[in-house]
Structure 1
Amino acid sequence: MPASEPQPAALAPETAAHCRCALVLLPGAALLSVAGVLEALQRANALQTACRYDWRCFTLEGQAPTWPGLALLAPVTVPLRGGEGGEEGGGAALDAELLLVFSGEAALDDERLLSWLRRQAQLGAERMAIAGIDGGSAWLAAAGLLDGERATVASEWIEALQEEQPAVVWSDKVWEMNASGLRMSCAGGSASLDLMTAWLGRRHGERLAQDLTLALGLERARGRDERQRRPVAEQRGNSPKLAEALSLMEANLAEPLPTEDVARLVGVSRRQLERLFKQHLDALPSRYYLKLRLNRARRLLQQSSQSILQIGLSCGFSSGPHFSNAYKAHFDKTPRDERSQRAAAWRRPAGESPP
């Protein structure tokens, strides 16, 4: 498959490994999601010489997105013939180590497309990683390629897909990746950058992931434990009072408000507030508030240079021991363990797997 840009002078083609990436653009695919993947691959080529990432964009017969600038990506149109057509047309493999399916729709009503996806997975066998980006995850699920796996998708489709595709464990995380790294998914927009940073870090080591984050101008790459930030009305079950309560909590992580104060400021009784949290979030307000503070502390431990005590105090814990005990109870490791693991990953040479 031809490269999308000239070979860097520092890379010796006869000694470097190549990884071919096929980007399949379906209707509704977001340009931002595609750009995130391409930018991450391009930066990875500049930051390391162990592997050269080449890519090619594809559209499928009758399934192309309608961007005004689509031609700039020079996509190749692939005919759909149901996946039983031998070695040509719809039955031919895209010859890639990574297949990414982009979509902004989840109609799932084109059996030819579903059959084509199954055929690509069959031809790729154990060597090809497959990723669904935004609505692309829904298409992979409908094709049976995510059965038994955790997967994510744009937040507005999660509830419906939980009913339509029960063989998949749907989550509201920013991205998901299975243990083998062969099945991946992410939400829309910039989530593709987070997924690609994680995937490239898995292949080349945590040091590259850190360098890639800096090169991309990101404050940090979102981890697999982070949930999508959905529109407030949607995320909170269309409950304005719950949305207001959560906004108050998120704005007061350093100095947590008592539950009674949150309820008073929102204009409901404590009992009403607890019912709202139980109904929509399956948690008591105090427990959910603690989770928000601990998640922020974890991000700071992983990404900032602040001391453990400073982080604990900035997340509303009254002392070092208070912070450490709460953190261990929630994450099953202490803040010191968290930071030590991050430091060890940073020191590990690129490409070396964790012990």
Structure 2
Amino acid sequence: MLKHIDHTDSTETVLPGAFRSVAQENKKEFSHLWREANRAFLPFDEVDTQIRRVCFILPEHFSMLSFTAAVDALVTANLVHTGPLFSFETYAAGDATVRSDLGIEISTDGGLSDLKSCRLDKYDLIVLCGGYRCSMTENHQLSNILRSAAKNDIIFAGIWNGAIPLAYAGLMDNLNCALHPDNHAFMRERFQKVSVTGNILEIESQVVTSAGPASALEMMLQLIGRLKGRAIMRAIREILSCDQVVDPGNTRLLSIEENPVMPQNLLEIIQLMRANIDDPLSMDDLVACLGISRRQIERLFQNYLQTSPGRYYLELRVTYARRLLLQSNASVTDVAIASGFVTSSHFSNCFKDYFGLSPSQLRERFRKNLS
């Protein structure tokens, strides 16, 4: 027989008054920890649905890693929303085919002559992707295109040493600039109006620059946050930054609730909950396993996770169900059982309370976005 913690605490189902409506009376909001884990699958409020157009300019030997990190952020933005938010085009700084730093040739949408004939004001963002072996000499055709584009309300971004073409066009004057350390000396000597910093990322009102592949992803996240809102940005970050290394000595993939400042008792409770998702433990079971009081357990969760043990356990199971639902072909009934719910109807109601869609509806929307 399945054992359940009581999840009927009324404080867990009431929305703040300013956001409550008749349609939301039964809507549940994830606590902070699980909200971040599920953000990509929750409804977004007040998202600008206008498709923003991005232009990537790729010189010979551009950094493939930097380019794909930036593009990945845009593609993921489209996946986490019900409709596309971004489109992008690529243009080579020379001919239509350009060779990356990996020696891989890619076909672009055209060369600079093709870009010059386009209406530049159709773009919201122009990204210049540099690389370790990219030429430092001025491409006069590119400089003219950038100056022409700057007459419009366009954001410019430079990755690695992509800030150098922007500097040749006069778009970096009196601005802070981040670029690869190998190019600092050249930038300081050649462009004395540019303020080169030691930061990996510099954000100005119209120009954003990053120093390399790792910061290219963060740069795009910040730009997406500016153009589409921080909720979209956080959803993308949750997907793409799960394996970010904070401590070089620890390369293990951490679950979102693991935190080195948490006491061992709390970590043990969480591990017990994770090990008993299909057959949830009661509060009495947790007390018996750990030898600490119910009040101590409640205090640990409130102090370190700002939630109750029951709510945490329920949201852990709902999140587990969401992952299983979207990553397998298991039936809704099987997902419900694997997540510790007695009936599929109880599971479906609980799931819809959190996600605003039934399990079948969320699965259908997710697969439609992938196609």
TM-score with structure 2 length normalisation? Answer: 0.49
| 1:118 alignment partner in structure 2 | 147
Higher normalized contact order (CA 8 Å, seq sep 6+, divided by chain length): 2
Matched, 1:138 2:167: no
Alpha-carbon contact 1:36-1:193 (below 8 Å) kept: yes
Matches within 5 A, 1:248-327: 305=259
Alpha-carbon displacement from aligned partner over 1:278-329 (angstroms, at most 9, x marks no partner): xxxxxxxxxxxxxxxxxxxxxxxxx98555999xxxxxxxxxxxxxxxxxxx
**Runs of 5+ in structure 1 lacking a partner?**
1-9, 81-87, 223-249, 253-302, 311-355
The whole-number CA distance in structure 2 between the counterparts of 1:308 and 1:59 is: 50
What amino acid is the match of 1:114? S
| 1:100 alignment partner in structure 2 | 127
The whole-number CA distance in structure 2 between the counterparts of 1:185 and 1:20 is: 19
Alpha-carbon displacement from aligned partner over 1:194-237 (angstroms, at most 9, x marks no partner): 11112222334444333212211434599xxxxxxxxxxxxxxx
The whole-number CA distance in structure 2 between the counterparts of 1:46 and 1:169 is: 37
The whole-number CA distance in structure 1 between the counterparts of 2:124 and 2:248 is: 44
Matched, 1:157 2:178: no
2:105 pairs, out of 67, 70, 87, with: 70
Q: Which one has a bigger Cα radius of gyration?
A: 2
The whole-number CA distance in structure 1 between the counterparts of 2:155 and 2:258 is: 32
1:41 pairs, out of 61, 71, 74, with: 74
| Shift in alpha-carbon separation, 1:92–1:209, aligned structure 2, 3 A | closer
Aligned-residue identity in percent: 19
Range that drifts further, 165-174 or 104-113: 104-113
Matched, 1:17 2:44: no
2:222 pairs, out of 184, 198, 204, with: 198
Q: CA deviation at 1:109?
A: 2.9
The whole-number CA distance in structure 2 between the counterparts of 1:213 and 1:89 is: 31
Alpha-carbon contact 2:78-2:84 (below 8 Å) kept: yes
Matched, 1:212 2:250: no
Runs of 4+ in 1 over 4 A off after TM superposition: 219-222, 303-310
The whole-number CA distance in structure 2 between the counterparts of 1:158 and 1:217 is: 28
Q: CA deviation at 1:36?
A: 0.5
Q: CA deviation at 1:164?
A: 1.1
| Shift in alpha-carbon separation, 1:251–1:65, aligned structure 2, 3 A | closer
The whole-number CA distance in structure 1 between the counterparts of 2:228 and 2:109 is: 30
What amino acid is the match of 1:70? E
Alpha-carbon contact 2:95-2:110 (below 8 Å) kept: no
2:193 pairs, out of 167, 183, 186, with: 167
The whole-number CA distance in structure 1 between the counterparts of 2:180 and 2:161 is: 6
Q: CA deviation at 1:112?
A: 2.5
Where 1:57 maps in the other structure, the secondary structure is: strand
